[in-house]
Each structure stands twice: as C-alpha cells, then as structure tokens.
Amino acid sequence: MLRSLLLTVAAASVTKLKFGQDVNYPPYAYLDASGELAGFGVDVVKGMNALCSTLEIEVVQTSWSDCWSSDEGGSLGALLENGTLDACMTFTHTQGIRNHYVDFSHAILNFNKAAGLLTLLEEGRPRVDGNSHLAGLNIVDVGGWAPTEDCLGMVRNKCTGEKYSENYTLLVGDGNDDAMRMLRDGRADAMFIYSDQAKLYQCTGAVPPNWNCSLWENFGTDYAYVQTGQLEYVVNGTSLAMAKKGSKVPAQVNSGPPTTRTRRPTCLRAIAPVATAPALLQSAGLDGLTIRAVPV
C-alpha cells in the first residue's frame, strides 16, 4: 500500500510539457536521415529528460508560424496561443515585439545569432553597397523568423557605425524561401536575415532539405552579405523554450539566477554541449560552421 502510494505521488510530481519545432533550420532543428526530429534543441531535451526526474518534455514537429507569426507586425502563433504547445524551441530571444507576447527560457547557446543584409551581385558588385543607409530602398524581412521586422531599426551599419535611415520600404516574406524569391526577382533590394542563414541553406550535407535549394545556390556569386555581425537586436542566445506570456514553462526549465547572455536550462550540469556540437554539425553536413554552446 505504502509503495503504491509513493509511486503515485512520484508520478504526479512529474511535469509533462510539449515543445514544438519545425525542421528547416539545421543544425538547430531538422529531420535526420532516418526522418527523426533532430537538432540542438532535441539533444538538450533528451539530456534534460534523462537527468530530470521531475520533468518530461515531448518534442513534436510543427510550423514555425504555429509559434510566432508575422501577421500585424508580429503576433503569437496559433498553437502557442491555444495551449496545444507549451513552448517552441530554438527561438532567438530578441528585443522588441516578441516580448509583448512571449517569455523566454534561459539560453542553451552563446549569444551568437547576428543579423545581416543580403543583396544580389551584378558583375561582381553588390546592388546595395555596405555603406548604404537604405534610404529609398525596398528591404525584405523573413516573416516569422528573427530578426523580426522591428529589429532593423535597432541595428547599426557596421561600415558607418550609424543606424539606418527610416526612409525605406519594409516588405515581409512568408519564410526564408519567399524572402529570397523577392530578392532574386527584384522586388527587394536587400534582405534582413541571420548572418549565417545563407551558409545553413547550402544543400551540400546529409540533412534532407526542407527548403528550395535552387533559390540559395551560387552564394558568393549571385548574392552575398554586405552586412553581418549585427547583434544589437538580441537580448540573449538561442533559447530552449519560447512560451506564451505569463506561462510557467520558462521557470520550469530554468535553473539559478539568470545572467544575461550566459543563461542555461536546468539539469544540464552533467551534459557537455561543447563536446557534442561538432558531431552534430558534422552529421548536418556543416563541419565548417562554428557554433559555441554555453559551457556547463
């Protein structure tokens, strides 16, 4: 009787959570060669489930737009809004609009998700010069992804040290492929995007691509970055959990007092993400990319 009671109490004390991720963001979130969910977020969750007797996290595939939408300048995705998902994984903790709708857990990776500007090359020269303040130009942001459209007003031109003009037209693409299509067909002069996104979308590795490879071909000959390293829009590194504002989920996966840019989730002190990151990058066909994990 006592044993049965203890088992019941132990089972009742386990917090069960459902986290979502899409599969077009290697090595952060993707499908491996066997069709299983993979990435930094999945690996961290596996470690937490193994080490945390009071926590059980299920990871499911979903669309990023179920987590965060670019509608109306930025809003909560439907599945976070209605509680189908408790949180979404590997979102960058940005400044601006996201903080009105969501709370973030501590980071699982270092503060490294810089933004940049992509533009087409014409006879080897960029259509938009790196010194441009963007006045009078059409700039496309990747809808649903960081950096969000409001973040362009937060970053500085790395060539001039100044913020951009407010006199540009901001367009929003429906994801990375749509934004790249708008750049290639001339509707946009430049794309505001992660500084590593073009590298991540080169279809040369073992990860089955969930994006249009042809749109991202000829990086460095058809198109290139004229700005990189723009970090002013970021609050913290890649998060394990982005949850609806007021949710208890971030607190349930966090541990200890938060320290900006060096935060970490609970139950990870026996896990060495720095050691596992190179193997994960290699399996994703991204051996040349350096991503540093938060030390534990």
* Domain locations along the chain: 2-111+235-283, 115-230
pLDDT band of residue 113 (cuts 50, 70, 90) is: very high
Beta bridge partners of 35: none
Say which range, 5-9, 19-23, 110-114, 198-202, has the weakest mean pLDDT: 5-9
Whether the Cβ atoms of residue 255 and residue 263 lie closer than 8 Å to each other: no
Q: Which CATH number is 115-230 given? A: 3.40.190.10
Q: 3.10.20.30, 3.30.1330.30, 3.40.50.1580, 3.40.190.10: which CATH number matches 2-111+235-283? A: 3.40.190.10
Identify the H or E element spanning 44. helix 40-51
Q: Residue 100 and residue 209: Cα distance in Å, rounded?
A: 33
pLDDT at position 263 is 45
Q: How far is CA 65 from CA 62, 87, 139, 180, in A?
A: 8, 13, 21, 18
pLDDT band of residue 279 (cuts 50, 70, 90) is: very low
What DSSP designation does 179 have? H
pTM reported for the whole predicted model: 0.82
Q: What is the pLDDT of residues 175-210, one digit of tens each?
A: 999 999 999 999 999 999 999 999 999 998 768 899
Asked whether the domain spanning 115-230 has the same topology as the one spanning 2-111+235-283, the reply is yes
* Mean pLDDT of all residues belonging to the chain: 86
Name 215's Cβ contacts closer than 8 Å, sequence gap at least 6: 177, 180, 181, 184
Average pLDDT (12-19) is 89
